[in-house]
Structure 1
Amino acid sequence: MGSFSIWHWLIVLLIVVLVFGTKKLKNMGSDLGGAVKGFKDGMRDGSSGDAAAPPQQVTSEKSADKSTIDVEAKTKS
């Protein structure tokens, strides 16, 4: 009763195809592939330019927007 044989997986695959249909499975596969490709591109773009430039720090300037509250976070001892 440990592992499943190839016949078990073929039956599961047949049931999934019958439930969802081949067109919907194809669309889900292409969407997943596009998401993975976009993630890889983002990781490659993010790591190449950010290593040389340090993150920008917000300076305390008087702003025209009076709805923003500037606070300073302090750690508890």
Structure 2
Amino acid sequence: MGSFTITHWIVVALVVLVLFGRGKISETMGDFGKGIKSFRKGMAEEDRPTPPPAPPSQIAPPAATQESAAKAPESREV
């Protein structure tokens, strides 16, 4: 009396299909699958060793700094 039979599971499945429809269930399962793939990809990226940081001499200055250095200093009169 305490366990569910196959008839109970069929009724539950039919109720779920009526409430959510076929499209909602397949869409939800597709999103669930994408989430699992994303999680596994993130775990794989975490396991990869990170390259050591580049020495300061190899790091290029930002573009804004290069542009301001190329311009001649302007004199301002007050």
Give TM-score, length-normalised by structure 2: 0.59
- Distance in 2 between the 1:42 and 1:15 partners? 36
Unaligned runs of 5+ in 2: 53-78
User: How many residues in Structure 1 have an aligned counterpart in Structure 2?
Assistant: 52
Percent sequence identity is 37
Letter in 1 for 2:19: V
Q: C-alpha root-mean-square deviation of aligned residues, in Å?
A: 1.8
- Distance in 2 between the 1:14 and 1:34 partners? 26
Deviation at residue 2 of structure 1 after TM alignment = 2.1
Deviations 1:15-45 (A, max 9, x none): 0000011011110010001001110111111
Match of residue 12 from structure 1: 12
Aligned to 1:4, the other structure's residue is in SS state coil
In terms of fraction of residues, the more helix-rich structure is 2
Unaligned runs of 5+ in 1: 54-77
Larger Rg: 2
Give TM-score, length-normalised by structure 1: 0.60
Deviation at residue 48 of structure 1 after TM alignment = 2.2
Letter in 2 for 1:40: R
